[in-house]
């Protein structure tokens, strides 16, 4: 896609370890973000990642994946961004790759990005609250919330292929215990075929949410749990993760080439899920006009009230199977097995494994 990108109209918005996210002050990009790759020698180019999206990810996830377009970067764009002083909150850990010729123009997961100013974390989930401005354009903190956006990583939705039939916990929970942490959301609970298990998982995870959001006004845990349970999204993500039937220890650590199925599964294990709860809106716009809503949009009824929500996956990025990365993956998996983290009986068991529902 060819569009005119002027760095003067693009500013820091957010970032991850591998990418910088920019937002624009131009009205035509109000609901768009620009993702530009940081310098990381040996990593796939943006064009390579786009090919991976088109051939491996989108055929399975469809519109559940955040809208992403490959755009050409004009000469000097990246250098100009690199020359700026760090923005408030910017890591400034790596410069952008000035040899990168493309970026991704992505849809924003926020309906009203200019009004989403309050963010906080509850365990492993980031919440962003969006309020409409009052008449002079400022944000009134007492004004009703228009939108709540949740962001978290679903992680490993199927057991590790290397953990064996006697494993008592999933890979995500086992790794948390190894690192001396209490696990948060168990991924296996998120894909349970029992709605009560899914709702209970979010209710426990969000016990401290009432410090920020009154659950009697905004029943977030119930909305999220029911939205995910009614959606095919996590089943589709599982489909990508199940492409790996061997696990990293099923490969010769130095000689055998890792196949695309393994790399796709690893990318799907490290993605981000965004859930947008749209408040004070009767229905998604497509439903309101009698059309068919995209599969990523749902209506969830809690306590007799309908809540439109949108479910989007982002950051399923092609992994670089370098010798160092392969060794890292293998060492983690081997330690979970040899140190007994999958099998210890004095630690809590993952509910879905204990019930035999995986």
Sorted by where each begins, the domain ranges of the chain are 7-108, 147-354
pLDDT tens figures, 83-137: 999 998 899 899 999 999 999 999 998 876 666 768 899 999 999 888 766 555 5
Residue position matching structure tokens 């354009």: 137
The confidence score (pLDDT) of residue 196 equals 93
Helical H runs in the chain?
Answer: 46-52, 58-61, 77-83, 171-178, 187-190, 195-205, 220-230, 233-241, 260-268, 285-288, 323-338, 351-354
For residue 111, give the DSSP letter: S
The confidence score (pLDDT) of residue 191 equals 95
Q: Is 187 in contact with 156 (CB distance < 8 Å)?
A: yes
Segments of the chain with pLDDT less than 70:
1-2, 112-115, 117, 132-143, 253, 280-294, 354-358
Distance CA 271, CA 248 (A): 18
Q: Which fold would CATH assign to domain 7-108? A: Phosphorylase Kinase; domain 1 (3.30.200)
pLDDT tens figures, 189-199: 999 999 999 99
Residue position matching structure tokens 């700026």: 84
The confidence score (pLDDT) of residue 149 equals 94
Nearest C-alpha neighbor of 346 from the set 177, 172, 158: 177
- 283: its two tokens: 């229905």
DSSP 154-166: ---SS--TTS-TT
The confidence score (pLDDT) of residue 155 equals 97
Question: Crossing angle of helices 220-230/195-205, nearest 10°?
Answer: 140
Distance CA 130, CA 149 (A): 8
Distance CA 115, CA 178 (A): 40
pTM of the model: 0.89
The confidence score (pLDDT) of residue 78 equals 97
Q: Is 24 in contact with 5 (CB distance < 8 Å)?
A: no
Q: Is 148 in contact with 279 (CB distance < 8 Å)?
A: yes
């Amino acid at each position: 896609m060819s569009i005119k990108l002027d760095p003067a109209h693009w500013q820091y918005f957010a970032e991850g370890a591998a990418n910088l996210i920019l937002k624009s002050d131009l009205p035509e990009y109000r609901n768009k973000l620009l993702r530009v790759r940081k310098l990381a020698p040996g990593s796939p180019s943006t064009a390579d990642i786009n090919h991976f999206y088109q051939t491996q990810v989108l055929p399975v996830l469809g519109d559940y994946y955040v809208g992403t377009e490959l755009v050409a970067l004009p000469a000097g764009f990246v250098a100009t961004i690199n020359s700026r002083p760090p923005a408030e909150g910017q890591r400034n850990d790596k410069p952008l790759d000035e040899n990168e010729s493309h970026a991704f123009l992505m849809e924003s997961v926020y309906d009203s990005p200019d009004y989403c100013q309050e963010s906080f974390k509850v365990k492993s989930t980031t919440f962003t609250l969006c309020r409409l401005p009052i008449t002079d354009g400022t944000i009134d903190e007492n004004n009703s919330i228009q939108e709540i956006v949740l962001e978290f990583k679903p992680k490993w939705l199927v057991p590790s292929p290397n953990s064996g039939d006697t494993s008592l916990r999933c890979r995500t929970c086992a790794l948390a215990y190894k690192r001396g942490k209490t696990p948060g959301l168990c991924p296996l609970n998120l894909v349970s075929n029992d709605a009560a298990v899914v709702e209970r998982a979010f209710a426990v995870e969000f016990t401290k949410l009432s410090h920020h959001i009154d659950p009697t006004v905004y029943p977030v845990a119930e909305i999220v749990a029911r939205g995910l349970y009614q959606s095919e999204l996590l089943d589709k993500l599982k489909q990508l993760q199940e492409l790996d039937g061997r696990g990293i220890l099923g490969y010769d650590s130095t000689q055998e080439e890792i196949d695309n199925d393994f790399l796709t599964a690893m990318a799907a294990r490290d993605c981000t899920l965004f859930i947008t709860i749209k408040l004070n809106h009767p229905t998604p716009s497509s439903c309101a006009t009698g059309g068919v809503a995209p599969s990523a949009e749902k209506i969830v009824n809690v306590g007799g009230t309908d809540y439109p929500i949108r479910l989007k996956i982002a950051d399923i990025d092609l992994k670089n199977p370098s010798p160092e990365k392969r060794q890292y993956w293998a060492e983690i998996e081997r330690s979970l097995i040899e140190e007994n983290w999958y099998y210890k009986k004095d630690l809590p068991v993952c509910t879905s494994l204990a019930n035999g529902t995986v």
